[in-house]
């Protein structure tokens, strides 16, 4: 199947399942509406697609990985809602729409992030409980580590405590490896775990580390050169906020070279994981994306 069609198919599958997962919650209507507002707002779904693509490529079952993949998208969405709050990045737009707190207010936005984070783990634990299968416990551990204090949260702390400073290459890389990279790494690793291909973990780890850095550099570049209307987000915000980025450290030209370098390394590894070519094409697509 050609790449675009395959990508759209996977996005559709994830979107449909996410909708189901938030459709029967016994909770006040406002928090359900708010969760749906941000979760079903049309992100690229890169993280769950990585989990599904890698699981399938390694001989795993799509049905088995689908909820694990969706739980990662919930955690990603929670991080975006909290990141957009006035006490953090203070953003007005996300995924082409007003940010969650602009519509529902700060208190509900915080609770919506909390709700998505908890629901993600409820879903992960339900998969383990229903099957008594170690793979789901391992996947839940991988995801909790990646999103926790030694992962995404550490990255965010390094970020907000270094506003206005020019980080050296090592600290900048460390920040991004944790803030953006860890959840991308977990997304890839759970694909191997649910496929019961623990032997492939060294490969998925190496692939996702390179992909994560490339992804972040491209994000930094898009923050500077993107078209705000097209992207539906506050372009130039990181630069204006004096946030440490690859572009502020290296400039645009060198950042583009670096993104290509890391993406090429990831693409070489993608072929070893997935002989259908989808993961390789996805890696390239992420390098040349416009949002």
When the beta carbons of 20 and 290 are compared against ligand GRG, the nearer one is 290
When the beta carbons of 192 and 217 are compared against ligand GRG, the nearer one is 217
- Angle between helix 182-194 and helix 62-84 axes, rounded to 10 deg: 170
Query: Nearest distance from residue 208's CB to ligand GRG, in Å?
Result: 14
User: With CB under 6 A as the contact rule, which of the stretches 5-13, 149-157, 261-269, 272-280 interacts with ligand GRG?
Assistant: 149-157
Query: Nearest distance from residue 150's CB to ligand GRG, in Å?
Result: 12
Q: Would you tell me how many other CB atoms lie within 10 Å of the CB of residue 116?
A: 26
44 close to 290: Cβ distance less than 8 angstroms: no
Q: Would you count residue 82 as binding ligand GRG (CB under 6 A)?
A: yes
Query: Nearest distance from residue 163's CB to ligand GRG, in Å?
Result: 13
Alpha helix ranges (H) inside 23-61: 29-39, 46-57
The partner residues of 93 in beta bridges, in order of sequence, read 98
- Angle between helix 134-147 and helix 152-160 axes, rounded to 10 deg: 0
Q: Position of tokens 């991004």?
A: 176
Q: Would you count residue 83 as binding ligand GRG (CB under 6 A)?
A: yes
Q: Would you count residue 217 as binding ligand GRG (CB under 6 A)?
A: no
Q: Which element (helix H / strand E) includes 97? A: strand 97-98
Q: Is the dihedral of CA 16, 60, 207, 168 positive or negative?
A: positive
Q: Position of tokens 């929670």?
A: 78
Binders of ligand GRG among 45-74, rule CB under 6 A?
46
* Of 25, 31, 32, 153, the one binding ligand GRG by CB under 6 A: 153
Binding-site size for ligand GRG (CB under 6 A) equals 16
Contacts to ligand GRG by CB under 6 A = 43-44, 46, 76, 79-80, 82-83, 95, 152-153, 156, 179-180, 216, 219
């Amino acid at each position: 199947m050609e790449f675009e069609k395959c990508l759209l198919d996977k996005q559709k599958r994830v979107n449909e399942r996410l909708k189901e997962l938030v459709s029967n919650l016994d909770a006040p209507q406002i928090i359900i509406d708010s969760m749906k507002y941000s979760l079903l707002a049309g992100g690229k779904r890169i993280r769950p697609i990585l989990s599904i693509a890698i699981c399938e490529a390694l001989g795993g079952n799509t049905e088995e990985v689908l909820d694990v993949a969706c739980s990662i998208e919930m955690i990603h969405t929670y991080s975006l809602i909290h990141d957009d709050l006035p006490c953090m990045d203070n953003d007005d737009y996300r995924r082409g729409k007003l940010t969650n707190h602009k519509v529902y207010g700060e208190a509900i936005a915080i609770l919506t992030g909390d709700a998505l984070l908890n629901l993600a783990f409820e879903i992960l634990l339900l998969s383990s409980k229903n099957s008594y299968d170690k793979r789901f416990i391992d996947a839940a551990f991988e995801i909790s580590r990646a999103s926790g204090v030694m992962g995404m949260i550490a990255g965010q702390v390094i970020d907000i405590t270094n506003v206005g400073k020019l980080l050296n290459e090592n600290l900048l890389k460390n920040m991004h490896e944790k803030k953006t990279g860890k959840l991308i790494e977990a997304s890839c690793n759970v694909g191997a775990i649910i496929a019961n291909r623990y032997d492939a973990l060294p490969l998925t780890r190496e692939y996702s580390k390179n992909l994560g850095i490339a992804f972040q550099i491209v994000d930094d570049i898009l923050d500077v050169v993107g078209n705000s209307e097209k992207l539906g987000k506050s372009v130039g915000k990181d630069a204006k906020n004096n946030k440490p980025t690859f572009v502020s450290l290296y400039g645009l030209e060198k950042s583009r070279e670096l993104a290509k370098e890391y993406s090429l390394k990831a693409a070489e590894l993608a072929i070893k994981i997935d002989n259908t070519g989808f993961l390789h094409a996805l890696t390239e697509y992420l390098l040349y994306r416009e949002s």
